[in-house]
Chain A
Amino acid sequence: MTALIVVEAVAIGLLGLLVAGLLRSHAEILRRLHELGAGVGTGEEAAPPRFRVAAGVPAPGGTPAPDAADIAGVTPFDEAVAVRVAGAEQHTLLAFLSSGCTTCAGFWRAFADGPALPPATRLVVVTKGPDQESESALRRLTPAGVPVVMSSAAWDDYGVPGSPYVVYVDGPSGRVAGEGAATSWPQVASLLSQAVADSGGQDRRGGGRGGRGRRQRGRPEAGLGDAAREARADRELRAAGIHPGHPSLYPEAGGDAEGAA
């Protein structure tokens, strides 16, 4: 009798362990489903699925495009100026230059010659404020028709590490579409042209020269090559039934993909 009770107790204990394991497994499945956006009745936005790339592929930066800031300062010609950048109908190419740096000289010359800009793009040169720049030197360098704003605050707002540095702002969205250091204007122009072409825009050279031309409305996606391309790729992959974690995205992992549906 005692032996029967012991066997029964052991069996109940094993069954309890089995049930606990099943519950834990069930909870894990629900958690994964929730991460994939399949939560029901929670009333909360599901967190985006965890993203991972195959071995050997650099992970993308996790920082979203930062907001652009309008620019306020003075000009070398004793003017106060406030330039609208965020929310503007046109895009803005901010060129952070100085009057003294050797590399900047090429940019000043290129801007004086009338740089070819992407459609609906306004060029604005931004230097440090009057306490760190030579107004007389800038008066000599200022290209006709190009606004030059002296504003140390703008350098801080855009986190400019040094000159020359260019920032391309998508006007309608008010987001920084691209930025970086460059050694020459042709290098920047080439990258801009390529980005616009990739995004489906038409590179009508000269259309946005120096900010003096008539504004070209429309094509708000112009200049957003990476974002537009990524969104299109996502749409097409989803339409083909390939979601995050799909085995086909991890050929070297043999299809044992985390979060596979």
Chain B
Amino acid sequence: MRIAHHGISADVPPGWEARIYRRTDDEPGATTAPVLHAATFALPEERGDFGGGAVELMGPGDAFVALVGYDAAVAGTPLFARQGLPRRPRSSSFARNKLQHVIPGQGGSQFFFTAAGRGWCLYVVLGSYDDRDALLARVYAVLVTIVLDGDSVVVPEVPDVLR
């Protein structure tokens, strides 16, 4: 299933579901940048941008991906110095304490970067830190399909083993 909205598009692999939305500006202090959520489990309707309300429902075999946009003003600043969406984050980047909501057994990591003229944060939560290599293989299958408008990153082919 391919979904596209608000400048983000993705081919949602079998076994995943996804949402793309934009925070409305009637919420005080909220960003109007787009957000993508992808998960191997049923996403609840009420979720925080970084998965609050969703990650609590994860099983050990699940994964959650949040791609959160920031204002254009932060693009290229030191925190967002990296160029382009990291499509194959290393398992060594993940830790049990890199979670917005620390849940026993889970592992996660976040990556800040600049793409499509704005800053972004990629936040990945793995249902089981111990099985991070296997779960990351599933996450890669989503990340390699994401296209950000204006993003010049070449999308690599998805290996059959990840489909």
A contact residues vs B (CB 8 Å cutoff): 70, 72, 74, 77-84, 86-90, 122, 144-147, 211-212, 214-215, 217
By the criterion CB–CB under 8 Å, are A79 and B20 in contact? yes
User: In the bound complex, what is the Cα–Cα distance between A87 and B18 (angstroms)?
Assistant: 15
B136 to chain A, nearest CB (A): 20
Give 13 A-B pairs besides A77-B21, A82-B19, A83-B17 with Cβ atoms closer than 8 angstroms. A70-B1, A70-B17, A72-B2, A72-B12, A78-B22, A80-B6, A81-B17, A84-B16, A89-B41, A89-B59, A145-B46, A211-B45, A214-B56
Question: Does A215 contact B57, Cβ atoms closer than 8 Å?
Answer: yes
- In the complex, chain B residues whose CB is within 8 Å of the CB of A211: 42, 44-45
Contact of A215 among B19, B20, B42 (CB under 8 A): B42
B41 contacts A80, C-beta separation under 8 Å: no
1/0 contact string of B1-19 vs chain A (CB within 8 Å) = 1111110000010111111
CA distance A215 to B127 in the complex (A): 14
Establish whether residues A145 and B45, one from each chain, have CB atoms under 8 Å apart when the complex forms.
yes
- Please tell me if the beta carbons of B5 and A87 are within 8 angstroms of each other in the complex: no
Interface residues on B, range: 20 to 34
Offer 12 A-B interface pairs, CB within 8 angstroms, sorted by A: A79-B20, A79-B21, A80-B3, A80-B19, A80-B20, A82-B16, A87-B14, A145-B45, A146-B45, A211-B42, A215-B41, A217-B59
Contact A81 B45 (CB under 8 A): no
Known contacts A77-B21, A83-B17, A88 near B5 by CB under 8 Å: no
B3 proximity list for chain A (CB < 8 A): 72, 80-82
Chain B residues near A82: list those with CB within 8 A: 1, 3, 12, 16-19
| Chain A residues with CB below 8 A from B44, complex form | 145, 211-212
A84 and B59 contact, CB distance less than 8 A: no
B52 → chain A, closest Cβ, in Å? 14
Residues of chain B contacted by A72 (CB below 8 angstroms): 1-3, 12
Which residues in A have their C-beta under 8 angstroms from that of B14? 70, 86-87
Residues 39-78 of B, flagged 1 when their CB comes within 8 A of A and 0 if not, give 0011011100000000011010000000000000000000
Q: Are B57 and A80 in contact (CB under 8 A)?
A: no
In Å, the complex CA distance between A86 and B4 comes to 21
A210 CB to closest chain B CB, in angstroms?
8
CA distance A214 to B54 in the complex (A): 10
A50–B21 alpha-carbon span in the complex (Å): 54
Residue of B whose beta carbon sits closest to that of A92: B42
Which of B17, B18, B46 is most buried by chain A, counting CB atoms within 10 A of its CB?
B17
Which among B19, B41, B59 is the interface contact of A79 at CB below 8 angstroms? B19
Minimum Cβ distance to chain A for residue B43 (Å) = 8
- Residues B5 and A74 in contact, CB atoms below 8 Å apart: yes
Task: For B42, list chain A residues within 8 Å (CB).
Answer: 84, 88, 90, 122, 211, 215
Q: How far is the CA of A77 from the CA of B5 in the complex (A)?
A: 12
**Within the complex, what minimum Cβ distance (angstroms) separates A162 from chain B?**
25
Which chain B positions have C-beta within 8 A of A81?
Answer: 3, 17-20
Between B15, B19, B20, B45, the greatest number of chain A beta carbons within 10 A of the residue's beta carbon is seen for B45
From residue B49, how far is it (CB to closest CB) to chain A in Å?
A: 13
A95 nearest CB across to chain B (Å): 15
Chain A nearest CB: distance from B1 CB in Å?
Answer: 4
Residue numbers in B under 8 Å from A212 (CB-CB): 44-46
Known contacts A79-B19, A79-B20, A82-B18; A144/B1 CB under 8 A = no
Tell me the bound Cα distance from A214 to B55 in angstroms.
11
Interface hub of A70, A80, A87 (most chain B Cβ within 10 A): A80
Smallest CB gap from B15: residue in A: A87
Nearest CB in chain B to that of A85: its residue: B17
Q: In the complex, which residues of chain A have a beta carbon less than 8 angstroms from the beta carbon of B56? A: 214
A70 to B42, CA, bound (A): 12
Closest B residue to A86 by beta carbon equals B14
CB B12 to nearest CB in A, in angstroms, measures: 4
